[in-house]
Structure 1
């Protein structure tokens, strides 16, 4: 094994996705390490969401491999696994925070049940224990205990997003994918949510891949950043380095906010 891969949690090698002849992302490679937060940024249509969906097995890449270090320490090729194995990974060791929380929640069951379902997926069966854990996690994401039996459709957008985060993190995943996690929220709600996410990621030692068009989100949450344009990664490096001293003209435009994203 290449020495630089030895401590990786995720290895992405040569991933490309075509929609017919149109490229979604082209020949993307990187490693992600335990506890590291990577932001993928770029304007709409840059390929960042396509890449995220390929990495997280929501979309089959046209070429390339994605390998994940399983809990036994061995790497598993995500696209050589069975569908059942990938689903189990998504329910237990991974989380996925959608831009629209309704896509990541069951809107017609209670907040407590949304969190409890993930616990049941990893073998919890004791109702009292599940409810107690759900209560603790709701408190952790700043949702009061007296809302545990309310359905998400009775919640504000910010509360729904916080509930979705609790649902994803309750099983102690090692890797979380976030697709525009603050999109569509008011600025004050965004700030509160970002503070919450940053605290949880640090406290839990999570690795995360965050797709965002908002460079302020990338700066606040990520250690490392990849800038995409037309399906290609055109610049990457430590977040502060890239944002404070961008080398590529496109990145300079993003940072100076001349380019509308």
Structure 2
């Protein structure tokens, strides 16, 4: 791994009225690393993801991004235009509901091609061929390239969103419950696909999930959250095989008992 993290958060605090969503949260993500953030509903994990991605501003604390040139950028100090540009190029976001990450009225190929155009590609034939290759890579027949996402199943929509996100080979991808709401068999297939693509591209990923099995399969390290605080963190196998905090022990034992 590189000597410097690709994303760092220090002392993040955020409250919604009397509810403390984030309470002094600090984390690092290294280039090429997959970091899982796990916890029960209301633990603050999705709020943390939105803050790290620059979508929600914290009450206190900082988030810094290590850019490819070796410098650092204050995520919440950027202009909105700069953050949107970063999100279209060096970053990606995979939503739990693929409808939030796709343009439903645009063809499958058009969805993937838009990301390529955002990084400067202009040759229609090349864009269409690259989109077709990526559809195949996420197990969607290239014959569906002109079909709208509304004609796809939930699992196919999620795979299309992944193709749209990864086609530009971003350095950092945020994933918010990417297998949530899908059938178990579809979840397993999607997880295998994500693992293969992430390993092949060498991208850094922050994965929010309540699924311990998904975290074990995908993540190098794990952060466990409860009531807005990080209660345990470490290598995924260590955290799951030898949980030290009582809450982590409860999470792991509930999975084993299921």
Does the residue aligned with 2:233 lie in a helix, a strand or coil?
strand
Q: State the alpha-carbon separation in 1 of the partners of residues 127 and 208 from structure 2.
A: 31
Stretches of structure 1 lacking an aligned partner (at least 5 in a row) = none
Does the residue aligned with 2:42 lie in a helix, a strand or coil?
coil
Q: Please list, as runs of the form range in 1=range in 2, the aligned pairs for 1:244-255 lying within 5 A after superposition.
A: 244-255=241-252
Count residues with an aligned counterpart. Answer: 258
Relative to the length of structure 2, the TM-score reads 0.97
* Residue matched to 2:223: 226
Does the residue aligned with 1:102 lie in a helix, a strand or coil?
helix
Does the residue aligned with 1:11 lie in a helix, a strand or coil?
strand
Cα deviation per residue 1:150-170 (whole Å; 9 max; x = unaligned)?
Answer: 000000000000000000001
* Residue matched to 1:12: 9
Cα deviation per residue 1:69-122 (whole Å; 9 max; x = unaligned)?
Answer: 112110001111111110001011111000000010000110000001111111
* Distance change in 2, residues 1:242/1:148 (3 Å): same
Cα deviation per residue 1:119-147 (whole Å; 9 max; x = unaligned)?
Answer: 11111111111101101111110100100
* Distance change in 2, residues 1:5/1:172 (3 Å): closer
- Residue 229 of structure 1 and its aligned partner are, at CA, apart by 0.4
CA contact (8 A) 2:43 2:227 kept: yes
* Residue matched to 2:189: 192
- Residue 20 of structure 1 and its aligned partner are, at CA, apart by 2.1
* Residue matched to 1:163: 160
Of stretches 221-230 and 70-79 in structure 1, the one that deviates more from structure 2 is: 70-79
Does the residue aligned with 2:70 lie in a helix, a strand or coil?
coil
Q: Please list, as runs of the form range in 1=range in 2, the aligned pairs for 1:11-50 lying within 5 A after superposition.
A: 11-50=8-47
Does the residue aligned with 1:123 lie in a helix, a strand or coil?
coil
* Residue matched to 2:83: 86
* Residue matched to 1:149: 146
Specify which of 171, 177, 180 is matched with residue 177 of structure 2.
Answer: 180
* Distance change in 2, residues 1:258/1:201 (3 Å): closer
Segments of 4+ in structure 1 off by > 4 A? 258-261
* Distance change in 2, residues 1:84/1:237 (3 Å): same
Relative to the length of structure 1, the TM-score reads 0.96
Cα deviation per residue 1:177-221 (whole Å; 9 max; x = unaligned)?
Answer: 000000000000000000000000100001000000010000000
CA contact (8 A) 2:93 2:174 kept: yes
- Residue 213 (str. 1) matches residue 225 (str. 2): no
* Distance change in 2, residues 1:96/1:260 (3 Å): farther
CA contact (8 A) 2:2 2:30 kept: no
The alignment's C-alpha RMSD in Å is 1.7
* Residue matched to 1:52: 49
